[in-house]
Amino acid sequence: MAILRAEHLEKAFGAAAGSTSGVMAIRGVDVEIEPGQFVAITGASGSGKSTLLHLLGGITRPTAGRVLLEGVDLAALGDDDLAVVRRRRIGFVFQRYNLLPELSLVENVGLPLVLDGIPTHRCDTAARAALETVGMGHRAEHRPDALSGGEQQRGAIARALVTSPAIVLADEPTGALDSENSRRVVELLRSLVTDHGQTVVLVTHDPSIAAAAGRCIRMADGRIVSDTLQPGSPLGGGRPPVPRQAPGSSGGGRRAGRKRR
Ligand SMILES: Nc1ncnc2c1ncn2[C@@H]1O[C@H](COP(=O)(O)OP(=O)(O)OP(=O)(O)O)[C@@H](O)[C@H]1O
Ligand SMILES: [Mg+2]
């Protein structure tokens, strides 16, 4: 079963349904993400990458269509239940880290567990373990403003990992980083898939980062315009999707997922 599945997904901003004055950010997306895939989403600015990631992660609700996470229809959940599913099953990494400035790094990382009512000492232990995973154990007591961009992003990834989520969604996590820190962040995300069996969906502008993924989805104007697996990559998921040639596809890889129209 797909870990994430979008069906006929649409998202309009700024207009009542049926009006032509709003922005159609997502225009009918069908996609399935398989467990153990490392997926890159690319496309020009404004093509709908962030909007799609937010819809997949239950951060925003679609205006049409639906998202199933591990078979559960997110639309069927009320706001409180959705928040719980999001916190426990999904780790979200933002371009600008979104760490709370008044908390130390270890407190930031432990926050999803605190919000879940886990006893403080267990939150602290788990947060320190997550910081060790990203090589930031020695900076646990520091506030975010005392850390470099790369260090803050590794802390933000630790926060996304602390609940051991099934899926990590990252929106241009290297956008504000230099090439060495970008490389470390991508390596870290890759290791979630190879070492921990998690599923990662990463939005990026950088072709070299997209090339490191096992599957690359390209968007244009709110639609998926190509979807390819890297042949032979261990990051393409445990179960190979059914190969299918896209009409007009330029080739270069196998067709990924079972897109429907
Ligand atoms: N909250 C919003 N209100 C109105 N329009 C929005 C909103 N969020 C996104 N949009 C519009 O939806 C379209 C897709 O935006 P989105 O942020 O998903 O693009 P993107 O591919 O992530 O771009 P970038 O690479 O610049 O981050 C754009 O035209 C954008 O202006
Ligand atoms: Mg974006």
Distance 141 CA to ligand 2 centre (A): 31
Domain residues of the chain, as ranges? 34-61+78-255
pLDDT at 230: 84
Ligand 1 in contact with 190 (CB < 6 A)?
Answer: no
Q: Is the pLDDT of residue 16 over 70?
A: no
**Confidence label for 236 from pLDDT (cuts 50, 70 and 90):** confident
Ligand 1 test: best mutation among 49, 172, 209, most atoms within 8 Å of CB? 49
DSSP calls for 221-250: TTEEEEEEEPTT-TTB-SSPPPP-PPTT--
Of ligand 1's atoms, which has the minimum distance to the CA of residue 205?
A: 25
Instruction: Report which protein residue has its CA nearest ligand 1's atom 24.
Output: 45
Q: Say how far apart CA 214 and CA 69 lie, in whole Å.
A: 20
Q: Is the pLDDT of residue 49 over 70?
A: yes
Q: Is 187 exposed, middle or buried (0-12, 13-18, 19+ CB in 10 A)?
A: exposed
Q: Is the pLDDT of residue 162 over 60?
A: yes
Residue 238's pLDDT band, with cuts at 50, 70 and 90, is low
Q: Is the pLDDT of residue 158 over 60?
A: yes
Q: How far is the CA of 19 from the centre of ligand 1 (A)?
A: 18
Above 90 in pLDDT, residue 72? Answer: yes
pLDDT band at 256 (very low <50, low <70, confident <90, very high): low
Q: Which CATH architecture has domain 34-61+78-255?
A: 3-Layer(aba) Sandwich (3.40)
Query: Whole-prediction pTM value?
Result: 0.87
Distance (Å) from CA 181 to ligand 2 centroid: 20
Alpha carbon distance 178, 221 (integer Å): 29
User: Residue 40 and residue 42: Cα distance in Å, rounded?
Assistant: 6
Burial 108-134 (b: 16+ CB within 10 A, else e): bbbbbbeeeebeeeebbebbbebbebb
Q: Is the CB of 49 under 6 A from ligand 1?
A: yes
Residue 53 pLDDT exceeds 90: yes
Contacts of 244 (CB under 8 A, 6+ apart): 255, 258, 259
* CA pair distance 11, 23, nearest whole angstrom: 8
Mean pLDDT of the chain: 88
Q: From the CA of 45, how far away is ligand 2's center (Å)?
A: 7
pLDDT of residue 37 exceeding 90, the answer is yes
Q: Whose CA is nearest to atom 18 of ligand 1?
A: 48
Task: Say which amino acid occupies 22.
Answer: G
The tens digit of pLDDT for each residue in 86-126 reads: 999 999 999 889 999 999 999 999 999 999 999 999 999 99
